Amino acid sequence: MSYNYENVVKSIHEHRRGAYANALPDLDALQQSIEGFATLSRHCPMTPLLWMQYAHDTEGLMEGLMMAESAAEGSSEQHHQGEWRLQKLQSKKSALESSTGILELALAEFSGCAVLQLYYLESLADYVYQCEGLRLFNALNGMVGMEVDDMQATRNKLSAAFQYAWKSVGRGTHVNEGAIVSEIYRLNGSFLLFSLSFAVAASKQNGTGANDDFDTILHQISTLFLEWSKTPMGEGSNDEMIQDMEYIWDEACSLVLSLRVGDEQLEKLKYDLAHQKETLWANIDCERKKTSSLTNILSSYENEIDVAMSNEGIALPTHSYLSQPQDESNSNNDNDVLGKYLQSLRRMSSKWNKILLGDTNSFLLGLGGAETSRAFLKAISFLQNIYQGTMKKGKSVDDTERSSIEYHVAKYKDSVITSLFERAVSECPTVESVWISYMNFLRAEWTLLRNNASEQRHREQELSFALQSTSHRAVRNCPYSCTLFEIRMTTLGLISASNLEPDDITVVIKEATDLGFLTREALLHLRLVAILVVMRKLMSLVSLGTTTASNGIGKDYDEGEEMGVLPAANRKNSTNGTVDYRSLNPTVMEEVQDLIEDIRDMYDEADSYLFNSHTTWSEGRVAFWKHRALAEAYTLCPIAMALERAFNNDNEMDHDMLTDKEAIQCFEKLVKAQKPSHPDSWREYIRYASVSHIYLIGRASNSAQSQPDSTAAAISTLRRTRGLYTRAISCVKKASQTTTAPVESRQSWMGKGIDGTMFQRDYDAALLDLCREYLAFERSGGSEESFFHGLQLVRSKLASWDPAAATIASIPSVHEESHGKRKLEANGITSHPENLFSTIAGNHDDNDEEEYDKKSKRVKVKTNLKQPKKTDGVHRVRIGKLDYPAHPYTIYVSNLSEDTQDMDLVDAFLHEFGAVVHAKILREKLTGKGGHHFHGKSKCAGLIQFEERSSVEDALRRDGEFEVGGRPVKIQRSHLPAVGQVPSGMHRVNPKGEGKVSKRNKLKKSNVDGMEFEVERKGDAGQTPAGGDQHKEKHDVASASSPSSLSLGVLSLKPRGMKQRPKISLDTLNKK
């Protein structure tokens, strides 16, 4: 799809500027602008303001064309004033009908936009005004045969629109847009007054007097006032609320009283209405007090949202929606005919022209970025925590014990969070994280509702529709997001598990491919996810159709099941219960067969996509064949073999060979897809071949004896496994012969996807695992000859392996080199690569090996290998066009939030990956005055240095998955070391007395107090005996101060090799 969004929008603005340059709109320019809107809507979803301008231009164009057509049909003399008035009403009515239809489509996209809700309600109310005006005009002029719309249906539609607006913007999610919300409530009150006046006029005309409709409308007015008082709105939004309520109530009472006859009946009705008002106003005051504390809680988050929107230049000028003067067209004689209540439904053009006719506005254009989305997600996270707490407490907590925010969330449940999400996507429709959080919330609610059988069925249907609609809107607004396309497909599989059609999934794949925004890696990943979604339905269908649990319901494929060998006593206490098996019925068997064919067709489509579009993309081909081989081996082939046995019991072996051959062929293509092969590809192949009794088609010459019988099958499996190991060792690279590509050049999407494990693993680590498994296999299932033959093959591959540059996480027995020297270990083995073979081969007795060498006729191969260079096998990092050696202990972390601090990195990575030596946020350098005393703006990236190499490898495996501050980060190798664990000035300040220096001084003081002693003379009363010489006293002092004379507790607190200087008390000196 080829289009330029900026150019299309710019062209629309130019046509609209020319259309409204004069007092009367230029119809040709309006036609061109509408064509531009149609072109834009075909390619991508429009923003709220563009939808409103589209509706406004359509209304003006239709009205202008109809009036021009009417003027061309006859001369001005033939068109009297009445006919012109009639034509204008009809033209306006038809134009508003088209305009409101467009706005309904806009609300389906952005129901959380308060401005869009208000504009739609005023347009629909204006449509009611035009319809009623047309009806009254025909009645006054005695015209017969003119078609009049069903006014009751139109009023019901407007009433339902008000209810929808309350639910969307009247739940406290638009606190600082209270001026707009108040306009909606005022318009609703005006509409109720019009409905009441219409009922009063009908009663007077029919002479029926008061009826139940009056009480119903008064009840609706009371409900409106209570909802108005419960809605949290910002400062200044409710200044005129009581005055508006007073006006609406007094007007409603005057209409009701106008039908009463008789003084006694009139006085009684006045008393009843006064009492009703007193009760209503008391309830309103009570609700306003509760709403005041709720508003204070929500305002802090609303203020952050306003600041973020203001910083990004998308704040809404709410002053445009304050009280506006009436249009000049309103000050005419229509008030005598239509009534003042009907006039209040007419839309004021002067209020909306400032918004709809401006071409420099930046609000409601979907320009919300990272700052605004973070502010919205912070507020949503706060409400979600409150909601989860109320759900856990349930009904056990009385409403009086809840806080105002807890009571509010418990009352509206998930709808308040959904409304805030809708407001967020109306401001930030192109931010991926908002849609992902929204979809995750809806999926969690749907899962919770499905597991709770007590909930109503219609609520589950509402959530299912919301999931489908939201996932569709998400991919339309963010067509560049692979994650959202994946969520859409998995959502379709979740809510349509019983009636999912593979065509529904392939439509999503076709849409993602046709849009052209995704990379080849993302498109392959989505195809594999689509296959996985259909395969889940296949497994669920087979599992539920073949099992019956103790509760009478079949067990699904994702549930647990106990082993059948458990004793009877243990099976009774099992939490999974017993399972009974049965055969599939023929109808389900046919559906399963169709699904298997659909899945293989989807694989064939992905295969053709790879070969036709990306013929040299070996990594993608490996990912594809790995996925298909595992699916064929463990899911499709076993089910297909069972179906073949059920459909046709004859020639069973031939069918087994055909179906099992499919998996073997896929594994063969997997190991041949890349030259040389990746060790993990062979490990998957060998794992399947070693645990399955596979059957291959024999040669044509001796097909009768080409397959082993049941007795020879186990030994045949050992020989075939040995053959695969031999092929694998010959097809892989030698260790340390490949340089690991930097992380940014790898398929980072695979870190989140289903094939990330193979491409995230280091090649040398995978080769080491393959060699270990080969030798372990030979040790348990081979002879001594085959074992040492395998050992020689392993030595040939690992001869140049350098333990200092390899992944230590997967090699715990390898010792690191220190200071460039090889040290002799405790067991007498040096840290040389050749000693790795003895570790892999196992702990064999040296004497046994010597005896075997003497008896064996094989000549032991001697190797005279050179010491590998220190740079061999070292990871490299490409910066520009140059490659730099990667620092072995440091990683580079990007995609951080601007609010992330240095200590946040320490907290996050220390707990997850191990000890951190250094951590630093990279910031902009400040120069000039004060540049060295202030920290620059964060670059949203940082360096982290660990103590162990394994921590680096563990962190690299979590690239794209690990989150810091709620955001997934990108983790790469770094060629630069980090400095200081936390830069100066970025440490967290500890409370007084808990800092490092305070603790050290306290410990030092306690050591001094514990080591003090007095030197006293031996004898009675503490005096030195006569004849004691100075030498003996000095000897006592020296011996007392020696470490051997001190207690163990004191010694443990004093450094070794240091002596405490003796302290002599004043009493001793005085006695001398």
> How do residues 66-119 score in pLDDT, each as one tens digit?
888 777 665 454 456 677 788 888 889 999 999 999 999 999 999 999 999 999
User: Quick one: pLDDT at residue 550?
Assistant: 74
- Cα separation, 378 vs 899, whole angstroms: 13
Compute and round to an integer the Cα radius of gyration of the chain: 41
User: Quick one: pLDDT at residue 122?
Assistant: 94
Q: Indicate whether 483 pLDDT > 50.
A: yes
Q: Indicate whether 206 pLDDT > 90.
A: no
pLDDT in tens, 219-277: 999 999 999 999 998 877 777 888 999 999 999 888 888 876 667 778 888 888 899 99
- Cα separation, 196 vs 218, whole angstroms: 8
Q: Indicate whether 21 pLDDT > 50.
A: yes
User: Quick one: pLDDT at residue 701?
Assistant: 42
906: closest CA among 917, 890, 922, 892?
A: 917
973: closest CA among 950, 952, 954, 957?
A: 952
Residue 873 CB neighbours (<10 A): 22
3-state secondary structure of 959: coil
Q: Indicate whether 377 pLDDT > 90.
A: yes
Residue with tokens 């269908």: 541
- Of all residues in the chain, the percent with pLDDT exceeding 90 is 33
Q: Which of 438-442, 746-750, 832-836 has the highest mean pLDDT?
A: 438-442
User: Quick one: pLDDT at residue 335?
Assistant: 42
Q: What is the mean pLDDT of residues 684-703?
A: 64
Phi/psi of residue 922, nearest 5 degrees: -80, 130
* Per-residue H/E/C for 312-330: CCCCCCHHHHCCCCCCHHH
Q: Indicate whether 436 pLDDT > 90.
A: yes
- Cα separation, 270 vs 266, whole angstroms: 6
Q: Indicate whether 336 pLDDT > 70.
A: no
Length of the chain: 1072
CATH architecture of the region 876-973:
2-Layer Sandwich (3.30)
Return the higher-pLDDT residue of 848 and 286.
286
- Judging by beta carbons within 10 Å of its beta carbon (0-12, 13-18, 19+), is residue 297 exposed, middle or buried? middle
3-state secondary structure of 744: helix
Task: Identify the weakest region by mean pLDDT among 139-153, 200-214, 438-452, 470-484.
Answer: 139-153
Residue with tokens 């295969």: 607
pLDDT in tens, 107-118: 999 999 999 999
Contact status, residue 515 vs residue 490, Cβ threshold 8 Å: no
Confidence of residue 601 (pLDDT cuts 50, 70, 90): very high
369: closest CA among 314, 297, 287, 320?
A: 314
DSSP string of 605-642, one letter each residue: HHHHHHHHH-TT-HHHHHHHHHHHHHHIIIIIHHHHHH
DSSP state of 887: P
Average pLDDT, the chain: 78
Contact status, residue 750 vs residue 760, Cβ threshold 8 Å: yes
User: Per the confidence metrics, is the pTM higher than 0.75?
Assistant: no
User: Quick one: pLDDT at residue 57?
Assistant: 92
Asked whether the bond before 502 is cis by omega within 30 degrees of 0, the reply is no
- Cα separation, 1025 vs 244, whole angstroms: 106
User: Quick one: pLDDT at residue 955?
Assistant: 92
- Cα separation, 796 vs 200, whole angstroms: 101
Residue with tokens 């005896």: 851
Task: List, in sequence order, every residue forming a beta bridge with 764; answer none if it has no partner.
Answer: none
pLDDT in tens, 627-644: 999 999 999 998 998 888
Q: Indicate whether 489 pLDDT > 60.
A: yes
For the record, the structure tokens of 66 come out as: 């109809």
Q: How far is CA 93 from CA 88, 159, 868, 944, 1066, in A?
A: 8, 19, 87, 67, 110
Residue 722 CB neighbours (<10 A): 20
Q: What is the mean pLDDT of residues 653-669?
A: 72
pLDDT in tens, 747-770: 444 444 444 444 557 788 889 999
For the record, the structure tokens of 446 come out as: 């749907």
Cβ-proximal residues to 310 (8 Å cutoff; 6+ apart), any chain:
none
For the record, the structure tokens of 284 come out as: 């309103």
**What are the domain boundaries of the chain?**
173-300, 365-478, 876-973, 1013-1071
